[in-house]
Structure 1
Amino acid sequence: MGQFITFEGIEGCGKTTQIRLLATALRHQGHDVIETREPGGCDIADQIRAVLLDAKNNRMTSPTELLLYAAARAQHVAEVIRPALDAGKTVLCDRFCDATLAYQGYGRQLDIDQITTLNAYACQGVRPDTTLLLDLPVEIGLGRARQRNEQHSGPNEDRFEQESLNFHQRIRQAYLQLADNEPQRFLIIDAQGKPQTVAERIASAMNTIIQPVPSS
């Protein structure tokens, strides 16, 4: 069975960059690594992603949003994550169930118990072994995210960046609470500073969790 490592955090915390850097480091150590993301990760889930993140869909209700995330996750787990783990690979995923608790539970203020049940149904027993929470002040993260979107030439995916500052502050506090609830799974990483500096913090935190693959 492989290892499942998820990256979580507010908008603009640098998850995508840090997943790429960690994947490179792990491959150099001999690990077979899969990089994926949520929502998305496979064709059907990517189509759902386009609907979820498009700023034009500003009339989407919170329950609709929640159910679409669950549908994308169910497909992603069945098609990508579980097969990779069964094959002994290391899976690095940009967001997973904790994001739904933070964004739809605490951000949208939907029922936490219902979200937990829905997550469990979508995941079919798949749970992260380790979750890296990239933490930084909301104002810094939103500034980074909006700058990134201005420079991005692809599909518009800034529906969440248009939410209020208070919404994003609730999400940051939710993540910190989730980490406090499960300290054995979460590693809180200071996401301020240059990408390489953050990568070094992650490498240090992961040092005892993932070891190099012995050469044959």
Structure 2
Amino acid sequence: MTPGEALSVLGLGPDSTWDEVRRAYRTQIRLHHPDRAGSSTDAMAVRVIEAFGVLQQMRASPTGWGPAVDSFPSGSTDSRPPSATRHRSDHGYTEPGPNESPGSPWAIPLAPQGPPPFERIDGDTLRFDAPADETFRWLLEAAQDLGAITYLDRSGPLFEVLCRFLDEPATSLLVTLQGRSDGTDAMCAAESIEARPGPPTSAVVDVYESVLRRLARDSQHRSRPQGPNG
């Protein structure tokens, strides 16, 4: 899929900004994901995820994001099917072979030392010093303190959490992972699912970050040697 085709899947044109790309992605993935009543086939959801991944690759490239997407070399965003053997995908996951199905992320063990080191790199993105598998598992663990996980796609990779905060409308938090050479980025997008506006994404990520850091503190406390009196 070329960047131009990816924009078309999201219903956008070549002059679209990155914010417009993200908004369109959130809209399309909620419209087409399999848990939504009356949604289209799973194939459309997969295509939307693939399109967003192509544009993320373009944004992370040396060329960067810009309006002239059709001039971006199509070979650099080649989305050919994975080979039949198991291998590490671009986003860091171990892709299944031809006779395997993707394993449940809940089967990934939680490291006793807690979540991997991470930092907040902007208002809506957390960068983890760990592979995508480990990052995904800890993000899911922390997400249970935010609300109910309503959608999970390990192949995306992404998941959605329905959050409820005091005096705020029900809020959907969409978390999308992107593998990097030195770790994994978790990009968050929050949006009210009610008529009134919800909290900004940065505020929701503040809460998410605090839960992850609490999990880290709790894990460190449990790993400390206990004295004779416990």
Whether the TM-score (by the shorter chain) exceeds 0.5 is no
- Say which structure, 1 or 2, has more relative contact order (CA 8 Å, 6+ apart): 1
Q: Which has the higher helix share?
A: 1
TM-score (norm 1): 0.30
Q: Which has the higher strand share?
A: 2
